[in-house]
Amino acid sequence: MSPRQYNVDERRAIQFGICHGFVRKLCIYPVSLKKCDMRRIAKLCDGTRSLEDLAVIFAISPVKLLEGVRDDGNFVFISK
């Protein structure tokens, strides 16, 4: 079942929901498990910066950054 079958534009429905406060964006905050890790990414992953913010800092797509951090194994993720 597609929303288009009911004449609903998904993009505009989400925009409406965000503007009126009943749809919110889910953000992922990576946290480094090793405090002694000296890599730049590990220093920045303290739970205060979202994955999107880190992607801008490192000039990489958020999807590629998430894959790299997830494959590393030294990070946990907080979603809110």
Stretch 15-36: mean pLDDT:
91
pLDDT tens column, 45-74: 999 999 999 999 999 999 999 999 999 889
Q: Any idea what DSSP says for residue 38?
A: -
Burial 54-69 (b: 16+ CB within 10 A, else e): bbeeeeeeeeebbeeb
- Mean per-residue pLDDT over the chain, rounded: 91
Distances 19 to 25, 74, 80 between C-alpha atoms, Å? 11, 36, 18
pLDDT at residue 59, as a whole number = 96
Distance CA 61, CA 49 (A): 15
pLDDT at 1 over 80: no
**In the structure, what pLDDT confidence band is assigned to residue 38 with cuts at 50, 70 and 90?**
confident
Q: Give the whole-number percent of the chain exceeding pLDDT 90.
A: 71
